[in-house]
Chains A and B, each alone.
Chain A
């Protein structure tokens, strides 16, 4: 428990100190790098809610990441071109307000997750993996063939969306926004993992027969977990789009789903802070190994293999040991 607490504190400390240092020496690129790690961490935390706590191995979380991104892209595009998103039956205008975009991204991602979950949660194991993948691929090809928002080329949003009282184009201020969201998401997931829902969901993952015998239905627990999971990853997608001021169908691709899963596995499946560690590690590897060779994914693959074979609990499992049952 102690070790885990210190690791959590160290992670959050480094994630805050590093960009502040980069800001003081005027290295905006490094601030952006840290922001990227944080956005990836949020996406991973979303997946971990389903995968780690609920045992739902989704290889389609790019669907939510991409949807969040396209919510931002579409709303901002219409705002910058002064056209309505939709004129009938009711008029919906675009917006450049981050909080509004986030709320819509969260709501639509949760809705999409309920839709995908309602169908895919009737299966399990490898079928569940394939169905979630298939849904994400459907959206991927849909966005590729949808010319309104750039199709395959994607869509640029020239000015980052606004947040009341802040200059979001300033890297350190946008970083602060993302960092605050990370803290809020972590606080929610931490609370949920210890809540009645968390206890029931974990029990369902371990033994469905048991949860039924105490009068609860696994499907409802899973669907709720999947909706929350999708909402968090969708929020990360909206932030990612704002970070890059660019969206493209790549956000929906199965590589994106795979990368989100890598954050979770590297950090530690089912650990609240695991995806944060995983995303930081991923960005570190990408930055250092990426400098050595453009084929750095080979090394990443080797490391991932090592983790899966020898360190099942990921970084958190290695450093902090087995999760302590919290009474």
Chain B
């Protein structure tokens, strides 16, 4: 087994009496989709924030590409190669779809402190941005403002912007939410291929998607991981079924 690209070692985080993360170990290896599932309020988003930056764990460490990044800022982690999509779309709402994608390409290239050349005429940035939009199927909307996009289209744009960063790992917080059956299906096909470019840590509520896509699944309940393993193990795990899956598979 190769070294994991992303390795979360024993992180805990409390908000007052609430243990949002309780000694969590989770890793992500090349070529895989590792799904993180758990009921609402289990601490999935808190965990993602500690991995992507923005929230410092009380104890434990986050290792990325062989480096301890626990003390690094969100921006520094992004520059190292973390491509993140947000649970609630977080885009530059007044900009067009293309401007958001170019922003990603620009952020990745890094030469932000330039004041004279028009950024929307930069062939290199435009090529990266257009290619990413095409991959998620948004190229025909490149002129639309984000504020005019549907919820599902914003989710697609989130993924497209993450693609412009050519990240080493993807952290995706519910990318399917609100996409509809067709959109979900399309994105699933896309993520299925994407894992070979960079592994994906996927937080997702859509169980069909998780069981179809994931190589491994971790189940988070009350801030702690109660099981990690291949899809079949998790599906058959009685603890997991009683804690989480029971009602959903019955439904």
> In the complex, are the beta carbons of A206 and B115 less than 8 A apart?
no
The stretch of B70-78, B175-183, B185-193, B233-241 in contact with A is: B70-78
Cα separation A153 to B149 with both chains bound (whole Å): 58
Contact with A195, one of B91, B119, B161 (Cβ below 8 angstroms)? B119
Partner of A194, one of B73, B84, B103, B120: B120
Which residues of A lie under 8 Å from residue B119 when comparing CB positions? Answer: 194-196, 198-199
Q: In the complex, what distance in Å separates the CA atom of A206 from the CA atom of B54?
A: 18
In the complex the two chains form, what is the Cα distance from A216 to B98 in whole Å?
A: 18
A214 touching B103, Cβ below 8 Å: yes
**How far does the alpha carbon of A47 sit from the alpha carbon of B232 in the complex, in Å?**
61
The CA of A210 and the CA of B117, in the complex, are separated in Å by 23
A294 at the interface (CB under 8 A from B): no
Stretch at the interface among B30-38, B59-67, B105-113, B201-209: B105-113
Please, which residues of chain B bring their CB within 8 A of the CB of A212? 53-54, 73-75, 78
Chain B residue at minimum C-beta to C-beta distance from A199:
B119
Tell me if B104 is interfacial: C-beta within 8 Å of chain A: yes
The 8 Å CB contact of B102, one of A191, A199, A206, is A199
Per the 8 Å Cβ criterion, residues 82-131 of B in contact with A are 84, 86, 90-96, 98-100, 102-104, 106-108, 110-120, 122
- A130 within 8 Å of B (CB atoms): no
Interface string of A178-217 (1 = CB under 8 A from B): 0000000000100110111111101100110111111111
Counting chain B CB atoms within 10 Å of each CB, the highest count among A202, A210, A211 belongs to A210
Q: What is the distance, in angstroms, from A154's C-beta to the closest C-beta of chain B?
A: 36
With A195-B119, A197-B112 as contacts: A325 and B74 at CB distance below 8 Å: no
The answer to whether A194 and B90 touch across the interface, beta carbons within 8 angstroms, is: no
Q: Is A304 part of the contact surface with B, judged by Cβ < 8 Å?
A: no
Shortest C-beta distance, B93 to chain A (Å), equals 6
Interface centre among A209, A212, A213 (most CB of B within 10 A): A213
- Given A194-B119, A200-B106, is A325 in contact with B114 using a C-beta cutoff of 8 Å? no
Q: Name the prevailing secondary structure of the A interface residues.
A: helix
Give the distance in Å from the alpha carbon of A325 to the alpha carbon of B74 in the complex: 28
Contact residues of A between 308 and 326, Cβ < 8 Å to B? 325-326
The answer to whether B116 touches A191 (Cβ under 8 A) is yes
Q: Is B165 an interface residue (CB 8 A)?
A: yes
Residues of B within 8 A of A206 (CB): 92-95
Q: A195-B115, A214-B108 are in contact. Are A325 and B92 (CB under 8 A)?
A: no
With A195-B117, A196-B106 in contact, is A213–B74 under 8 Å at CB?
yes
- Residue-wise interface mask of A (212-231) relative to B, using a CB-CB cutoff of 8 A (1 in contact, 0 not): 11111100010010000000
Contact of B106 among A194, A199, A327 (CB under 8 A): A199
A214 touches B107 (CB 8 A): yes
- Taking a contact as CB atoms under 8 Å apart, the answer to whether A327 and B112 are in contact is no
Residue of B nearest to A224 (CB): B113
A200 partner, pick from B54, B74, B103, B116, beta carbons under 8 A: B103
B90, B99, B103 — most chain A CB neighbours (10 Å): B103
Q: Is the CB of A197 within 8 A of B113?
A: yes
Q: Are A213 and B90 in contact (CB under 8 A)?
A: yes
Which residue from A195, A207, A211, A325 sits with its C-beta under 8 Å from B107? Answer: A211
Residues of A within 8 A of B94 (CB): 202, 206, 325
- Residues in A106-158 with C-beta less than 8 Å from chain B: none
Q: Which residue on chain A has the smallest CB distance to residue B146? A: A206
The reply to whether the CB of B168 lies closer than 8 angstroms to some CB of chain A is no
The B196-244 residues at the A interface (CB cut-off 8 A) are none
List the 4 closest pairs (A to B, CB-CB), nearest first: A214-B107, A215-B78, A215-B79, A212-B74
Beyond the given pairs A212-B54, A215-B110, A216-B112, 6 more chain A to chain B contacts, judged by CB atoms under 8 angstroms and listed by A's residue number, are A188-B115, A191-B118, A192-B116, A210-B100, A213-B86, A216-B107
In the complex, 10 of the A-B residue pairs with CB atoms within 8 angstroms, ordered by the A residue number, are A195-B114, A196-B114, A196-B122, A197-B114, A199-B99, A199-B106, A210-B91, A210-B92, A214-B165, A215-B165
